[in-house]
């Protein structure tokens, strides 16, 4: 695989022209940390490290950053942090958005195909790089795109470099992990810290109270902790979304279980409603409506009413007369 520009990652002691300026974009996660540490290990040209802080990062991210900053200072590498112009939560949950699926509030959680956060990050970094370009520098940006992302690599501008792809990561992930482990030990970064950063806040929408209760139960089943609600930062209004801190795998498990059991619950609630109506005889007299005979029912309908009957057997019958009488004796 050919990556442009091909020979920008030099061996230790590589010569760098005065008009070249190299910026590494990092998130302080595993991949970008590996990229940065290997750039330093190989003595690749590097003038500045840039981090886009959303304000919603996990503490492990900041712990990793703080462990590396002294190393950057020691090597005379500039460090810069950027922050969103608006609160990250506003764009995620409250910003009015027009789309082909209809108007809604917020872009939703940033991840998967929803890459609006990445777009904001790249815009900030490109604007920062332009400041150096305007001063006459040729600016190169190191980005953490791996070898198994050929479409993204193909779209890279000529002055954006994908070191992970050049090194064969993901193709040589085992050797990359070995080197990462050695460099982590060298710089005092624990595996626990890196594992913790994989847990992110995920938001799941619901429509009504029964769905909210089901969603909370599934979150509890998967993570061992209940979910939390969502309130608009500016409006103060409650949103029909429930959040939890979870890994990417846990998020998929929650989504899959919620989608499956929500449909199952709808069917069971239909049976419950019919059973409740039958148990309490919530039907008009026979002289007003002609009842259907059992011969008129399809096999599926017969099976349905068998379930209705079984559920009704476990229910208590309620009568308005008894309720009124109980109220009169109080």
Digit-coded pLDDT (tens) for 47-91: 999 998 887 777 778 888 998 999 999 999 999 998 887 666 666
Burial class of residue 215 in the structure, from the number of CB atoms within 10 Å of its CB (0-12 exposed, 13-18 middle, 19+ buried)? buried
DSSP string, 86-135: S-HHIIIIISEE--TT--EES--SSBTTB-HHHHHHHHHHHHHHHHHHTT
| 1 vs 168: CA distance, rounded Å | 9
pLDDT value of position 174:
46
Break the chain into its structural domains and give their ranges.
Answer: 20-84+113-196, 200-313
Q: CATH assignment of 20-84+113-196?
A: 3.40.50.620
| 148 vs 171: CA distance, rounded Å | 7
Q: For residue 26, how many other CB atoms are within 10 A of its CB?
A: 22
| 188 vs 113: CA distance, rounded Å | 34
pLDDT value of position 179:
61
* Token pair of 188 as six digits: 């005092």
pTM: 0.48
pLDDT value of position 291:
73
| 146 vs 128: CA distance, rounded Å | 23
User: Per residue of the chain (330 residues), what is the pLDDT tens digit?
Assistant: 223 343 344 444 444 445 899 999 998 887 788 889 889 988 899 999 999 888 777 777 888 899 899 999 999 999 999 888 766 666 666 667 777 666 666 656 555 445 555 667 788 888 999 999 888 889 999 987 776 767 777 777 778 888 887 877 653 454 456 666 666 676 666 666 555 545 778 888 898 899 999 999 999 998 888 888 875 555 556 778 899 988 766 777 788 888 888 988 998 999 999 999 989 988 888 788 777 777 788 888 888 888 888 888 888 888 876 555 556 555
Q: For residue 314, how many other CB atoms are within 10 A of its CB?
A: 8
């Amino acid at each position: 695989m050919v990556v442009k520009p091909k020979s920008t990652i030099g061996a230790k002691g590589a010569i760098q022209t005065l008009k070249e300026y190299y910026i590494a974009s990092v998130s302080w996660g595993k991949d970008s940390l590996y990229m940065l540490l290997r750039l330093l290990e190989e003595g690749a040209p590097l003038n500045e490290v840039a981090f886009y802080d959303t304000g919603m990062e996990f503490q492990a991210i900041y712990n990793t950053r703080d462990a590396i900053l002294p190393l950057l200072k020691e090597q005379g590498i500039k460090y810069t942090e950027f922050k969103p112009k608006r609160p990250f939560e506003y764009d995620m949950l409250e910003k009015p958005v027009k789309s082909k699926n209809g108007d809604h509030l917020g872009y939703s959680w940033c991840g998967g195909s929803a890459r609006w956060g990445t777009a904001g990050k790249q815009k900030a970094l490109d604007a920062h790089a332009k400041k150096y370009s305007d001063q006459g520098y040729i600016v190169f940006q190191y980005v953490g795109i791996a070898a198994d992302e050929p479409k993204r690599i193909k779209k890279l501008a000529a002055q954006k470099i994908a070191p992970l792809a050049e090194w064969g990561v993901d193709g040589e992930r085992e050797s990359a992990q070995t080197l990462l482990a050695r460099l982590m030990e060298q710089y005092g970064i624990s595996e626990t810290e890196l594992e913790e950063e994989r847990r992110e806040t995920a938001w799941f929408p619901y429509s009504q109270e029964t769905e909210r209760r089901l969603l909370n139960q599934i979150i509890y089943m998967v993570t061992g902790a209940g979910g939390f609600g969502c309130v608009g930062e500016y409006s103060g209004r409650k949103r029909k979304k429930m959040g939890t801190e979870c890994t990417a795998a846990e998020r998929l498990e929650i989504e899959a279980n919620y989608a499956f059991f929500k449909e199952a619950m709808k069917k069971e609630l239909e049976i419950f409603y019919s059973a409740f109506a039958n148990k309490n005889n919530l039907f008009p007299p026979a002289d007003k409506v002609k009842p259907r005979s059992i011969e008129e029912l399809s096999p599926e309908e017969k099976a349905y009413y068998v379930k209705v009957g079984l559920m009704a057997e476990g229910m208590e019958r309620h009568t308005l007369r008894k309720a009124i009488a109980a109220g009169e004796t109080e």
